[in-house]
A and B are shown apart, each in its own frame.
Chain A
Amino acid sequence: MAQAPASAEPSAPENGLLRRLFSSGTGVIALIYVVLYVLFALWDHSALTSGTVVNLANNAAPLAIAAAGETMVVLARGFDLSVAGVISLTNVIMAAYPMEGPDGAAISLLICLAVGGMVGLVNGYLVSVLKLQSIAATLATMIICQGLALVILDAPGGTVSDFVADQLTDVVIGVVPVAGLIILVIVAVWLVFQRTAMGIALYTVGSDEVSAQLSGISVSSTRFIGFVSAGMLYGLAGFMLSAQTATGNPNGGASFLMLTFAAVALGGTSLSGGRGSVVGSILGAGTLMLLQKVLFAGGVSSFYTGIFQGTVLVIAVVFGGLITRLSERRGAR
Chain B
Amino acid sequence: MNDLTSKQPLSRSTHGAGSMMDNEKLIAESPDLRTTAKIKRETITAVGVFGLTILLIFLSRFVSPALGGWDQVNTVLVLACFLIVVSFGQGIVILIGGLDLSIPALITLSGVLTASWIGVSGDGSWYLFPLIMVICGGIGAVSGIGIVVLNIPPFIMTMATGIIVASSALGFTGGSPRGGASPLLLGLMKGNVMGIPWIILFILFFCVVGVLIQSRTTFGRRLMAIGSNLNAAVLAGIPTGNYIISAYITSAMSAGFAGFMLVGYANGATLRMGDGYLLSSIAAVVVGGSSILGGRGSFVSTIGGTLLLTTLGLVISALGVPQGWKTVIEGCTILFALLLLREDLISFFSRPKSRK
Q: Are B334 and A147 in contact (CB under 8 A)?
A: no
The DSSP consensus for interface residues of chain B is helix
Q: Are A310 and B160 in contact (CB under 8 A)?
A: yes
A149 to B331, CA, bound (A): 13
Q: B168-204, CB under 8 A of A: which get 1 and which 0? A: 1011001100000000000000000000000000000
Q: Name the distance in Å between B141's Cβ and chain A's nearest Cβ.
A: 15
**Listed A/B pairs (12) with beta-carbon separation below 8 Å:** A143-B330, A143-B331, A147-B325, A147-B328, A258-B162, A262-B160, A304-B168, A306-B168, A307-B164, A307-B168, A309-B163, A314-B156
Q: Are B151 and A154 in contact (CB under 8 A)?
A: no
Name A's B-contacting residues (CB within 8 A): 79, 126, 130-133, 135-137, 139-152, 154, 250, 254, 258, 261-262, 265, 271-272, 301, 303-307, 309-311, 313-314, 317-318, 321
Q: Are B152 and A318 in contact (CB under 8 A)?
A: yes
A146 to B101, CA, bound (A): 19
The residue of chain B having its C-beta at the shortest distance from the C-beta of A312 within the complex is B160
Q: Are B279 and A130 in contact (CB under 8 A)?
A: no
Residues of B with C-beta under 8 A to A307? 163-164, 167-168, 171
Q: Are A258 and B150 in contact (CB under 8 A)?
A: no
Which of B163, B168, B325 has the most A CB atoms < 10 Å from its CB? B163
Q: Are B334 and A314 in contact (CB under 8 A)?
A: no
Residues of B with C-beta under 8 A to A272? 153
Q: A147-B329, A258-B163, A303-B174 are in contact. List 9 more A-B contacts (CB 8 A).
A: A132-B342, A139-B283, A143-B327, A145-B331, A261-B156, A303-B170, A311-B164, A313-B156, A321-B151
Q: Which 10 A-B residue pairs are closest in the complex by CB-CB distance?
A: A306-B167, A147-B327, A150-B324, A143-B331, A151-B324, A147-B328, A144-B331, A310-B164, A303-B171, A310-B163
Q: B282-306, CB under 8 A of A: which get 1 and which 0? A: 1100100000110000000000000
Name B's A-contacting residues (CB within 8 A): 99, 101, 146, 150-153, 155-157, 159-164, 166-168, 170-171, 174-175, 275, 279, 282-283, 286, 292-293, 322-332, 334-335, 338-339, 342-344
Q: Are B332 and A301 in contact (CB under 8 A)?
A: no
A207 to B174, CA, bound (A): 46
Q: Name the distance in Å between B180's Cβ and chain A's nearest Cβ.
A: 23
Q: Name the distance in Å between A262's Cβ and chain B's nearest Cβ.
A: 7
Q: Are A140 and B167 in contact (CB under 8 A)?
A: no
A271 to B99, CA, bound (A): 14
A109 to B180, CA, bound (A): 47
Residues of B with C-beta under 8 A to A152? 324
Which of A265, A307, A318 has the most B CB atoms < 10 Å from its CB? A307
Residues of A with C-beta under 8 A to B171? 301, 303-304, 307
Residues of A with C-beta under 8 A to B328? 143-144, 147-148, 151
A272 to B293, CA, bound (A): 13
A50 to B275, CA, bound (A): 38
Q: Are B286 and A136 in contact (CB under 8 A)?
A: yes
Q: Name the distance in Å between A188's Cβ and chain B's nearest Cβ.
A: 29
Q: Are A140 and B153 in contact (CB under 8 A)?
A: no
Q: Name the distance in Å between A67's Cβ and chain B's nearest Cβ.
A: 14
Our pick among A137, A148, A309 for the contact of B338 (Cβ within 8 Å) is A137
Residues of A with C-beta under 8 A to B164? 306-307, 310-311
Our pick among B99, B159, B339 for the contact of A313 (Cβ within 8 Å) is B159
Q: Are A147 and B342 in contact (CB under 8 A)?
A: no
Q: Name the distance in Å between B288's Cβ and chain A's nearest Cβ.
A: 12
Q: Name the distance in Å between B20's Cβ and chain A's nearest Cβ.
A: 42
Residues of A with C-beta under 8 A to B325? 147, 151
Q: Are A147 and B167 in contact (CB under 8 A)?
A: no
Our pick among B159, B161, B331, B339 for the contact of A261 (Cβ within 8 Å) is B159
Residues of A with C-beta under 8 A to B283? 139, 143
Residues of B with C-beta under 8 A to A131? 342-344
The residue of chain A having its C-beta at the shortest distance from the C-beta of B155 within the complex is A271
Residues of A with C-beta under 8 A to B324? 147-152, 154, 250
A144 to B324, CA, bound (A): 9
Residues of B with C-beta under 8 A to A261? 155-156, 159
Residues of B with C-beta under 8 A to A145? 331
A12 to B271, CA, bound (A): 55
Q: Name the distance in Å between B151's Cβ and chain A's nearest Cβ.
A: 6
Q: Name the distance in Å between B334's Cβ and chain A's nearest Cβ.
A: 4
A208 to B159, CA, bound (A): 27
Q: Name the distance in Å between B185's Cβ and chain A's nearest Cβ.
A: 27
Q: Are B342 and A314 in contact (CB under 8 A)?
A: no
Residues of A with C-beta under 8 A to B332? 140, 144
Q: Are A314 and B327 in contact (CB under 8 A)?
A: no
Q: Name the distance in Å between A51's Cβ and chain B's nearest Cβ.
A: 28
A311 to B150, CA, bound (A): 13
The residue of chain B having its C-beta at the shortest distance from the C-beta of A85 within the complex is B331
